[in-house]
Copies of this chain bind each other. A is one copy, B any other.
């Protein structure tokens, strides 16, 4: 029963187009950014995405199936981690440039002026 174990594509099957497609969405980019800067495994609920729970599940699955993240069940939650080693080997520099790009763009979008109530 229970799909208690999630399927992950082996490294050799990770395709660049799919990775790029997986990254080409604000919610998923935020997940990847968060995982990259935190450098840790975190449960889905740790990242605030401003979409419903079902949509959140969907985005994590897209990332996992593209080979960008790993997901393992741990107790009542599911821990998500970046497949940094695989990605760095397959596409050297890609992850870092994307993450720093999104960090930079974030600085433009969510900048200086904090909430102005």
Which residues of A are in contact with B by a Cβ distance under 8 Å? 15-18, 20-21, 23-26, 29, 90-94, 96-98, 100-102, 104-105
Closest residue on chain B to residue A15 by CB atoms: B105
Whether the Cβ atoms of A92 and B98 lie closer than 8 Å is: no
Partner of A21, one of B24, B98, B100, B102: B24
Task: Give me 10 other A-B pairs in contact (C-beta within 8 A), A16-B102, A23-B24, A91-B98 excluded.
Answer: A17-B26, A18-B24, A20-B21, A24-B24, A92-B100, A93-B93, A93-B97, A93-B100, A94-B98, A97-B97
Q: How far is the CA of A100 from the CA of B96 in the complex (A)?
A: 14
B residues within 8 A CB of A105? 15-16
